[in-house]
Amino acid sequence: MLLGTNLLETPDLELFGVQNANCVVMVPPKEFGFNAETAVDNEFQSQLDLAPEVITQQAMREFDAMVAQLRKAGVQVITFDYPLGDRSTPDAVFPNNWFSTTRDGTFYTFPMACQNRQKEVKPQSLIAELEKSGRHVLRSDSLVDFVDQDIFLESTGVMVMDHCNETIYAALSQRCERSALEEFASRIGYSRVISFQTSLPSGQPVYHTNVMMAVGDNFAVICSEVIPEYERRFVIKSLAKDKQVIDITLEQMNQFCGNILQLETINGSSVIAMSQSAFEAFSPSQIAQLSSHGKLLPFDVSTIESIGGGSVRCMLGEVFLPSRKRSL
């Protein structure tokens, strides 16, 4: 379905990198706090002995600093300051779980597992903000109806995309159900879906794939030890075909070393966004390896990642939509 399109205008399908977005959506954490609903299967969350207003203030400072530093580095940031509803959305700062976009101008929305996170899904408001910011939405599509079947697929939280090879990597969990995963892959025309099991020391699966792996244009970071051995070899072999594989430990994963994202700047160079805790947990040799693929941008988001159980990559909703041609 076409949304607000002037048929006399032609979108400029500018040639930014296939793998990396040069624009991201970020949502201010104005209702941020510990989410008891998501804590059921997110072992990365923890409660801090701080007053709610202090938590909000600290999270907002971390958010504002990250936005400013990304813009300074040359990445377009669209802040989506949504209106408050009758039910709080403590995890709205992690927008990459409910929407994604593709280079052909399609805006997708996804079925979220937790009820208070389903309240974050505001496609029309975000589409309006994207259009206002010069990004053109040609059509929208939704998998949200899967919720009625108790089937969930939390967008790029559970799907790590290798766009160069049209491949989706996904750790199966209650937030990533195979039927919805394969349906989405079919809709975007990706022929390879590599899904696998994971197991933490508790016996529970990793709640989101993007906390244990990341894929860039020529590299991949992965905590392979959480994947059963019979599947691990296949996943690593697939990644290693054309990427430098950087294997991280369980301890490094717990510091969000897997929750990083390569982006493109306005001048076409690459940067890699990560948290300060992840940066400090990487070994010197791993830092050298990553630095060969882009300038490293560490951000202090310690409040957000401690309480929210997600880090920098979770805060970035990639925008691959084309830019509209502007009149001079």
Hey, is 256 helix, strand or coil? coil
> Residue 3 domain-assigned?
no
In this prediction, residues 85-102 reach a mean pLDDT of: 88
Number of Cβ atoms within 10 Å of the Cβ of 73: 16
Render pLDDT for 266-300 as a digit per residue (tens, 0 to 9): 999 999 999 999 999 999 999 999 999 999 999 99
Residue 53 has pLDDT above 90, yes or no: no
Number of domains in the chain: 1
Backbone angles phi, psi at 248, to 5 degrees: -110, 155
Render pLDDT for 126-156 as a digit per residue (tens, 0 to 9): 999 999 999 999 999 999 999 999 999 999 9
> Residue 1 domain-assigned?
no
Closest CA to 193 of 166, 222, 217: 166
Domain of residue 187, residue span: 11-324
Residues 159, 165: contact at Cβ < 8 Å?
no
> Residue 4 domain-assigned?
no
Kindly indicate the confidence band of residue 124, based on its pLDDT and cuts at 50, 70 and 90.
Answer: very high
Number of Cβ atoms within 10 Å of the Cβ of 212: 28
Residue 249 has pLDDT above 80, yes or no: yes
For residue 173, CA distances in Å to 28, 36, 113, 181, 253 come to: 28, 18, 11, 11, 18
Is 131 exposed, middle or buried, given 0-12, 13-18 or 19+ CB atoms closer than 10 A? middle
Domain CATH for 252: 3.75.10.10
Render pLDDT for 94-110 as a digit per residue (tens, 0 to 9): 999 999 999 999 999 99
Residue with tokens 């990459």: 96
In this prediction, residues 12-41 reach a mean pLDDT of: 72
Residue 14 has pLDDT above 70, yes or no: no
Number of Cβ atoms within 10 Å of the Cβ of 312: 27
Q: What pLDDT does 10 receive?
A: 33
In this prediction, residues 214-237 reach a mean pLDDT of: 97
Q: What is the residue-averaged pLDDT of the chain?
A: 89
Residue 74 has pLDDT above 50, yes or no: yes
d(CA 243, CA 236) in angstroms, rounded, equals 10
Residues 44, 310: contact at Cβ < 8 Å?
yes
The angle at the Cα of 261, spanning 258 to 267, to the nearest 5 degrees, equals: 155
Least confident of 67-81, 162-176, 258-272, 311-325: 311-325
Kindly indicate the confidence band of residue 161, based on its pLDDT and cuts at 50, 70 and 90.
Answer: very high
Tell me how long the chain is. 328
> Residue 95 domain-assigned?
yes
Number of Cβ atoms within 10 Å of the Cβ of 208: 31
Q: Give the distance, in angstroms, between the CA of residue 309 and the centroid of all CA atoms in the same chain.
A: 13
> Residue 230 domain-assigned?
yes
Residues 135, 176: contact at Cβ < 8 Å?
no
Render pLDDT for 309-318 as a digit per residue (tens, 0 to 9): 889 999 999 9
Kindly indicate the confidence band of residue 2, based on its pLDDT and cuts at 50, 70 and 90.
Answer: very low
> Residue 246 domain-assigned?
yes
b/e per residue 176-206 (b: at least 16 CB within 10 A): bbeebbbebbeebebeebebbebebeeeebb
Q: Give the distance, in angstroms, between the CA of residue 316 and the centroid of all CA atoms in the same chain.
A: 5
Q: What pLDDT does 37 receive?
A: 61
> Residue 52 domain-assigned?
yes
Residue 7 has pLDDT above 90, yes or no: no
> Residue 47 domain-assigned?
yes
Q: What pLDDT does 13 receive?
A: 36
Residue 176 has pLDDT above 90, yes or no: yes
Hey, is 135 helix, strand or coil? strand
Kindly indicate the confidence band of residue 222, based on its pLDDT and cuts at 50, 70 and 90.
Answer: very high
